[in-house]
Amino acid sequence: MLILGLDTATPAVTVALHDGERPLAQLVTVDARRHAELLAPAISRVIADAGATRTDLTAIVAGVGPGPYTGLRVGLVTGRVLGAALGIPVYGLCSLDVIAADVEPPGTGFLVATDARRREVYWASYDAEGNREDGPAVNAPADVPRRGRPVAGEGARLYPSSLPGDIGPAYPAATTLCRMAAFALASGDSSRLLPPEPLYLRRPDAREPGAPKRVSQ
C-alpha cells in the first residue's frame, strides 16, 4: 500500500506519502493564493523524497473541504486526474475531520472551525471521542453553537472572541489524512471514505437579471 494524501481546503497546501503503517514523507506550505502552483511540485517532491515513483502509488486521498472553492478545487481536480492517469482509486475525507483527528483529547467535546472568508467559518462539532456530532456547516463565528467547548482549526485563531479556547492544530495534516484512509482501507471497508466531491456548503453567487435597464430618459 502506498497512499498519496493531499489537502487544499485551507491556506495550507499539505501533501504526504504513507505506506499504510507509517508516513514516509510530507510537505506543508502555507500560501492561500498559490495552491495550483504549489501542489503538483509538492506531490513530485514528496514521492521523490520517499524514494518512490508515481507508478508505485496504490491510492489517493484528498481533503474534500469544506473550504474556499478555488483552492479546494485545485486539490480535488489534481487528485481525480492523477488517479485517472495512474488508474488508481481516489477517495475523499472531510477536512474538518482530519483536523479533529489531530486534536489532543480535551476530555470534552470540541469544535473545529476553519476560515470560510466573508467573515464566516466552516465548522463541525465532535464528542469527547472525536466523533462528529454536528456539521459541517458555514456560519458567522458568533452564530456557531459552541456551548462552551474549545475550538481547533484556524477559526479559533482568527476569531478568538467568538471562538475562544484554541486547542490547535490550525490546518489538516496530510499524514493524518493518509493514516485515516489507510485505516479505513485496511479494515476492508472503503465506505468509510467519501467520494472526492467538494463540500462547498454555499451556492454560487449569481442573480437572475431583471428587465433590461432604460438607457434613455
Of residues 126-155, those binding other proteins (CB under 8 A): none
Contacts of 129 (CB under 8 A, 6+ apart): 105
Determine contact, residues 100/43, Cβ cutoff 8 Å: no
Query: Does residue 195 touch other proteins according to CB under 8 A?
Result: no
Query: Does residue 51 touch other proteins according to CB under 8 A?
Result: no
Q: How far apart are CA 170 and CA 148, in angstroms?
A: 19
Determine contact, residues 74/38, Cβ cutoff 8 Å: no
Indicate the SS3 state at residue 75. Answer: helix
Nearer Cβ to other proteins, position 1 or 77?
Answer: 77
Indicate the SS3 state at residue 90. Answer: strand
Name the grid cell of 57.
502509488
Q: How far apart are CA 26 and CA 14, in angstroms?
A: 7
Query: Does residue 209 touch other proteins according to CB under 8 A?
Result: yes
Query: Does residue 180 touch other proteins according to CB under 8 A?
Result: no
CB of 213 to other proteins, least distance (A): 9
CA atoms within 13 A of residue 136's CA, in its CB half-sphere: 26
Query: Does residue 214 touch other proteins according to CB under 8 A?
Result: yes
Contacts with other proteins by CB under 8 A: the residue count is: 37
Query: Does residue 36 touch other proteins according to CB under 8 A?
Result: yes
Query: Does residue 74 touch other proteins according to CB under 8 A?
Result: yes
Nearer Cβ to other proteins, position 25 or 38?
Answer: 38
Binding site for other proteins (CB under 8 A): 34-41, 43-44, 54, 69-70, 73-74, 76-82, 84-86, 198, 200, 204-209, 212, 214-216
